[in-house]
Chain A
Amino acid sequence: MLELIVMSTLNGVLYGMLLFLMASGLTVIFSMLGVLNFAHASFYMLGAFFGFQISRWFGFWPALLIAPLLAGALGAAVERFGLRRVHKNGHVAELLFTFGLAFAIEEVVQIIWGKSPVDFRVPSVLDFPAFTIFSTNYPAYKMFMLLVSIVIFAALLITLKKTRIGLIVQAALTHPHMVGHLGHNVGRIFMLVFGVGTALAAVAGVIAGPALVTQANMAGLLGPILFVVVVVGGLGSLPGAFAASLLIGLVQTFAVSMNGSLSGAFGPLSPDYAATWLADIWNVTIAQIAPIMPYLLLVLILIFRPMGLLGTRDT
């Protein structure tokens, strides 16, 4: 039992931090530009594929640096030459634009790298067990992922709270017009935020690529969870996104490792149920419903707390 708790907590925090790398960018972009970027997870995927390709040519470490820069530059260009023009036609046009972009990126990735998973491996320096707990080896690469996420989280926090540009970003979250009236170039800040946000998603892609599967559907698999995180945390709230990332990360990893079911808990009380048409529900395990849990949480949050855990706006 203790083993389960420790392992699930470790994995849950790791998954949560990875989600936060992406959700932080998504939520800041939403607050500032007022647009939910459907293509955000696509930049995570681009990060993974760029990382794969660059690590083939130059090795993993250059890839960890170059892939996010490339994806971030691409993100900034999307804001500057795409979204900014579309913006004049309102939010629906922006949504459709990012929606289309997500599909376009997926198709391009398929054309270049194919549909099947690519062979993106953990670098050999990090391919060893970091420590052994309860007779299970915990891979060093996972600790490395955790470390990278924490370093980036700290850097983001310091930049936002302590630097002038961070203050301008914070101010523009709530009052972009006023920031412009004070003489700050809001358009350039938007572009910067979009670039940094997509670069962060790409960092997540590079480090998650070798641990998970690098494949053309990875954006589609992750995108919905990302929206759950952002909505549960509260659209536009960074602390909320952080809390929700960890929450979803933990909920999911704990749920998959639990085998409890209604029949397990209450079976001895009324064994007859196992024979009725209710048997399917009766015997389903928590692990089996784990994939639905984030969406269930989303639905509950939208009904009972539409502004999210820590959100302030109810858009």
Chain B
Amino acid sequence: MSHSVTAHGAGKLPRGLAVGLALAVLFSGALFSLATGGRSDVGLTDLWAPEGIAATVIYDTRAPRMFAATLLGLNLSLSGLILQAATRNPLASPAILGLNQGAALGLSLGLVLPLFSGVPLQVMALVGAFGAGVVTFAISGGFTGRMDSLRLVLGGVAVGAFSYAMVRFAFTLEDELARSVVRWTVGDITDIRWPAVRRLALWGLPGLFAALALSQRLNLMALGQASAQGLGADSRITLLLGTLIAAALTGVSVSVAGPIAFVGLVVPHLAKLLFGGDHRILVPVSALLGAALMLYADGVSKVLTAPVEAPVGVVVALIGAPWFLWQTVFARDLS
């Protein structure tokens, strides 16, 4: 791989070591996720040649959950990476731009309003994510080609706050409905099975290739909207494609697990810290690190408040928020 993009700044670690570390973290995270769960009698030693109930538990409940965590990490970190590059805003992420909350609003409307009872919840989530994205970008002036960074974040916060206020209204409804909505909107992957994994993969893997295809355009965005335009990459098209990919990845993720914040915000920054600014490398690396973060969060979610499982979205926030704070205070790329 050439170093033609040194202008983006190289990472701090030798690349081989960094990739090796990331893979080691991913692999250990996967083991952690597989070794923990509702049955205390199925653990690490059962992962090799499991039989009887241990085999059933691992193949039918823990493996799909492990893959779901992996794909959710991939989807959300790619959404964040693409949004940060396409909007040239280091704060951009599915949660900050309101996509997560929009998807959650879509879900809640689907659960609460009889009008939408025939519409599959995943469609409601996707429509909600797209809708929130479109409104946020319209507020920021993104569709006119002159996106205002500050207006983007403010617009996203406003759209997110509005959507989530509507979602929280549903919490006050009667118990069973409120519990359903809370379960949907807290970021929860307990009892995930293979069909949900297939759905995540169906969107996530094409999303990964689409992000790779878009990576050169994302690199050009870093030069500035005018320069990108001059080099033949219309920034509005990059933004539109990026938003579509990010909204699709976010929408499918929310439809499976509910909104999970911080993955999309934190992981791209960690990847840039380790690997520099070339998006042709950042795309696969962010996917890898996002997956690793989610796998660890899944493992922790099962042991933190055992025997009751903590929602994975809460655990991600517990890991992601302090990291983001550290990044804000000490790292250069947010200053």
User: Are the chains A and B members of one assembly?
Assistant: no
